[in-house]
Structure 1
């Protein structure tokens, strides 16, 4: 008869296996890190378009490969190709603006001088007290900043040209991953849930929360960005502002920041119109920005983002800013997802703790027979139950 294994050895093996599990998981994440953007967006797109895949799967009588391939074609046509066309047009307009700045046709220091001269006296006095009254120094700083921005843009363009192969590889990885996540995603998610050592109810709630936040954040922020960018671009085109598509895309990107995004573009332009004598254009742009562009953010974002994620606006703003600071453009999804999971986990912890306290209180009242009376002066609300009277 074999002797039982020592308990100490069993614990040591469990710790060693747990250490091995953490190590290989971190190593796998390290291997995937160069393509984390492609993997991340592959997962996001699979989550967003999974309902479409399920419908196609039903129509095609459970032909999983065909349904996944057709869903991938829909993603290419509706999402990826329009994005590529907009980016190509944006690069062309950005190059035109850069050429105009280099040639002096677009003279930023001159525009600053016009704005400064049109400011009221009390504003210029405040600027003098703040050390911003030296217009020549400000122009030099702005020129230096524009030069640095131009160098950065040129460097990034060169880097993109040199890393074309990496872009194509990342694009292929994203499409390849989307196909298999659509086809086998349900089984993979089930295996992950089974492997995670948590309570079944907790796992279901956290997985549902993750999918809900991803859908709400991407759909809500993208729809708000598209709406604000399009409305801003139309206004700029009507007012005769050069490169309206460039400013529209810039407003769309900045609108990912709740409450303040698009105003960082149309606000300075409206101010320039007002102080340089184009009062009608400035007033129209201010009214349009506040009542139309701003109204889109105030109405759509709480409905599309805050309602489903059940997060306050300030949490969405802070998590979006922090996510974009850490992860770049991908952070507008990663940040709110982390914040939502943080709140969900702490809510579950609070519920568990409350239930545990209630259970302990209930057990105490059942097991105690006849508690001995405690004088009011030494009565304790918390602590061990008083001994039973015998």
Structure 2
């Protein structure tokens, strides 16, 4: 009854049960934990530099790293968030009062469209123009209600947000300070060959650092450039559209164009040719180049994944996990590719297992140098 096999089986079952229970307990703070880990990975090189400067004082170096993170990341986001809430309130009020009328804008585009284009639309049976106008008007009304409800939800969930925010900061401090020791203990605890464990954890770290650093840099650059263009052209709610462009730019290749493209079409259709031309030029040759140049350099190069894998994993991750998915999706894709690469190189983890253990340290060193 007390055979070693039975004891081991019971222990593994207990280990699995308490692990699942612990993850279940952490689920309310999933976002806080995720961003605490991501920011810790991103700012660990800075912590190590400060640790050398402060002559081996880990607490002071961790606090300094936390303060720098607050100053260059969190506080600017908070300031943009406060301004965004005010902008949302103004835009919502303008939609309700009719000052912003998407149905009227659509009608202006129809009035300016040539007859051959209207005939072509009718030929392809795209529907009655009046029906499309009614749909756009209804969608605009629903959008204003959604914006108002989300703003109200943000206000109601302020306490939960504050709790999660401080949990993230608390966790970030300890992960920055003790991250190396935690990583070593994790490598020692995982029941995998040590080179494989090191390789997979290093891939996890590299992808998170590249994804957060690259996607956030691209989003900020595209949102700022698009917002400035909208402000210069006199588009109402420039900050709101800038944030939407930054959010949508998380989708490679197509993101920001979903915002500036319709506005450029409206300008051209209503006779504002220079505004439309300027916006198209900025969108294609400035915002587009940011995506085409920065994203492959900051994301694809470090993750060593094809662009189409980055695109699909980002969209899929955001569809499942929301905003957190732009980190989770590429991480899952990278670990999937890394695990299958190990599986293939190790001869299906069979007789070639020893050769794989000899081969993987070279790949680990290569990845550490790239990261």
TM-score of the two chains, using structure 1 as the length reference: 0.87
Q: How do 1:207-222 residues align onto structure 2 when only pairs under 5 Å count?
A: 207-222=201-216
Per the alignment, residue 341 of structure 1 pairs with 335
Per the alignment, residue 255 of structure 1 pairs with 249
Q: What do the CA deviations read for 1:6-25 (whole angstroms, capped 9, x no partner)?
A: 8xx32222222211111111
Q: Does the 8 Å CA contact 1:132/1:138 hold for their aligned counterparts? A: no
Root-mean-square deviation (CA, aligned residues, Å) is 1.8
For residue 281 of structure 1, give the secondary structure of its aligned residue in structure 2: helix
- Which one is further off, 348-357 or 222-231? 348-357
Q: Does the 8 Å CA contact 1:68/1:179 hold for their aligned counterparts? A: yes
Q: How do 1:239-318 residues align onto structure 2 when only pairs under 5 Å count?
A: 239-318=233-312
Per the alignment, residue 49 of structure 2 pairs with 55
Per the alignment, residue 358 of structure 2 pairs with none
Stretches of structure 1 lacking an aligned partner (at least 5 in a row): 361-390
Q: How do 1:344-355 residues align onto structure 2 when only pairs under 5 Å count?
A: 344-353=338-347
Deviation for aligned residue 1:101: 0.9
Q: What do the CA deviations read for 1:241-268 (whole angstroms, capped 9, x no partner)?
A: 1222221111111111000011111111
Deviation for aligned residue 1:125: 2.5
Structure 2 residue 190 is matched with structure 1 residue 231: no
Q: Does the 8 Å CA contact 2:253/2:291 hold for their aligned counterparts? A: yes
Structure 2 residue 175 is matched with structure 1 residue 201: no
Deviation for aligned residue 1:155: 2.1
CA distance in 2 between partners of 1:351 and 1:135 (Å): 59
CA distance in 2 between partners of 1:335 and 1:149 (Å): 28
- Which one is further off, 86-95 or 341-350? 86-95
Deviation for aligned residue 1:208: 0.8
Q: Number of paired residues?
A: 354
Q: What do the CA deviations read for 1:88-117 (whole angstroms, capped 9, x no partner)?
A: 111111211111111111111111011112
Give every structure 1 segment of 4 or more consecutive aligned residues whose post-TM-superposition deviation is greater than 4 Å: 354-360
Q: Does the 8 Å CA contact 2:346/2:352 hold for their aligned counterparts? A: no
CA distance in 1 between partners of 2:119 and 2:161 (Å): 51
CA distance in 2 between partners of 1:189 and 1:282 (Å): 52
Higher relative contact order (CA 8 A, sep 6+): 2
Stretches of structure 2 lacking an aligned partner (at least 5 in a row): 355-371
- Which one is further off, 303-312 or 129-138? 129-138
| Higher CA-based Rg | 1
For residue 61 of structure 1, give the secondary structure of its aligned residue in structure 2: coil
